[in-house]
Structure 1
Amino acid sequence: MVRQELVARQLDEQLARHDGVDAGLRVLDVGCGQGTQALRLARLGHRVTGLDPDPTTLDAARRALALEAPDTQARVQLLQGSGEDCGRWFGPAAFDVVLCHGVLMYLPEPGPLLAALARILAPGGLLSVLVRNGDALAMRPGLSGDWATTVAAFAGDGYTNRLGLPTRADRRETLGRTLAELDVPLRAWYGVRVFTDLADSTAPTPAELALLLEAEDRAGRTDPYRQVAALTHLVGVRP
């Protein structure tokens, strides 16, 4: 919940600068999961295509979509597939906004998928990428007291995620260079989950949640805090 709320705030801040946002934008959400961001953006009036390779997760998104108002449902299309399929399914400049949140960590390298997404991004289009922060990979095991994993984190980009799956982190500087090479230069970046990466699952009170989100929101925009966040949110814009 904290992650999704922070990403939503950051994304909305960037979308507010987009020409034609009031008329509704064409949005692609790659790895849409249960549809949290896709449905939220559809409620705001955007036309959203959600893409996910996992049929179970996509079924959850479809069930959530069925609970939405008819006008919201009409603005959403959910497809089963991976981001690498984008070049086959969609033509150049097909989307004004492309989201790729929590996807690159499962790929051996980010370049091919980012290139595929850049090809379908319209001029002036926005590419939003959320990755595990490779510049702070030692923070979680270090704060947990797992010193062997902490030391190993300084030497590479691999880690085991909360689901027990082997995954990979990305460094902001490297991704920034890749985006620039793809003609989608970085316009802004944020940290996500600076203070709450190891928080337990106990639900805070509404007042506590409001303060938590305010603290995380400010830290995610402020150095040096955002540099050690669990996740990095990068936003590139095609000229």
Structure 2
Amino acid sequence: MRQELVARQLDEQITARFPVGRRLRVLDVGLGQGTQALRLARGGHEVTGVESDPAMLETAREALSVEPEGIRERVRLVEGDGRETGRYFDAGSFDVVLCHGVLMYVADPDALLAGLARVLAPGGLLSLLVRNGDALAMRRGLSGDWEGALAAFDATGYTNRLGLTARADRRETLTATLSAIGAPLHAWYGVRVFTDTAPDETKAGDVPDLDRLLAVEDRAGRTDPYRAVAALLHLCGVRD
């Protein structure tokens, strides 16, 4: 659900900003298993993925290994820390920079974000996917955990589905940060408005009328007031 919704939103922003058919230079910081990186490479773009977790990087390599040669040639995988992009890349090296599901594990994200903006070319797109700090009480409240919901209203930290301690971000704060680093917010979406309480083991084939569910989530993620209470926020900044 998350990957499909983010892909639709990202494609919308790319189409709006760049000429059709242009081969873009894409950096995916914290690429995980490589879902978005591989999808963009299949679309003809040159993709560099940075991942600090050796196990996740190996998963991405395995996924890449079964792709056709032409796609494999368009992907470069780097083991490294996304907070040190200045060590690996020159300023203005990329047209699109993705940082999805990373900020929640960074205590102070400002330096990371400034580094991402630095490697972004003028007019380039910065795509962030973060936990929504304005909606931390939603999952607990919808699950009937009233004590947890009350505590979450004033919290910035939470325990994620993997049992890890993580941090949420508020849209207002990130909007100010993006302006400060020269990549002001251009568009934003909500991700997982109605499905955040779905069990982790739920598979696409187990969901009746999946297309309609995706349509509802897609619409909600673009519509006020629903997008403001989504589990995740997808923020898109544009480099000055």
Q: Would the TM-score normalized by the shorter structure come out above 0.5?
A: yes
TM-score, normalised to structure 2, is: 0.96
Which piece of structure 1 moves more, 16-25 or 169-178?
Answer: 16-25
Q: Which residue identity does 1:13 align to in structure 2?
A: E
* SS of residue matched to 2:233: strand
- Deviation of 1:136 after TM superposition, in Å, equals 0.6
Matches within 5 A, 1:71-82: 71-82=70-81
Instruction: Tell me the TM-score normalised to structure 1 length.
Output: 0.97
Residue 25 of structure 1 corresponds to 24
> Which stretch shifts more, 144-153 or 114-123?
144-153
The equivalent of 1:61 in structure 2 is 60
Equivalent in the alignment of 2:220: 219
The secondary structure found in structure 1 opposite 2:209 is: helix
* AA partner of residue 92 (structure 1): A
Name the CA distance, whole Å, in 1 between partners of 2:96 and 2:190. Answer: 20
Counterpart of 2:7 in structure 1 is 8
Report deviation, 1:199: 1.2
Q: How many angstroms does 1:154 deviate by?
A: 1.2
Runs of at least 5 residues in structure 2 that lack an aligned partner in the other structure: none
**AA at the equivalent of 1:138:** A
Could you tell me which runs of 5 or more consecutive residues in structure 1 were left unpaired when the two chains were aligned: none
Structure 2 distance, partners of 1:63, 1:8, is 21
Instruction: Report sequence identity in percent.
Output: 65
Q: Once the two structures are superposed, what CA deviation does each residue of 1:182-202 show, in whole Å capped at 9, x if it has no partner?
A: 110101000000000011333
Please state if 1:143 is matched with 2:135. no
- The C-alpha deviation readout for 1:15-42, integer Å capped at 9, x for no partner, is 0022345121000000000000000000
Q: Which residue of 1 aligns with 2:209?
A: 208
Q: What is the aligned partner in structure 1 of residue 229 from structure 2? A: 228
Q: Superposition RMSD on alpha carbons, in Å? A: 1.2
Deviations 1:147-172 (A, max 9, x none): 22211111120000001011000000
Query: Which residue number corresponds to residue 34 of structure 1?
Result: 33
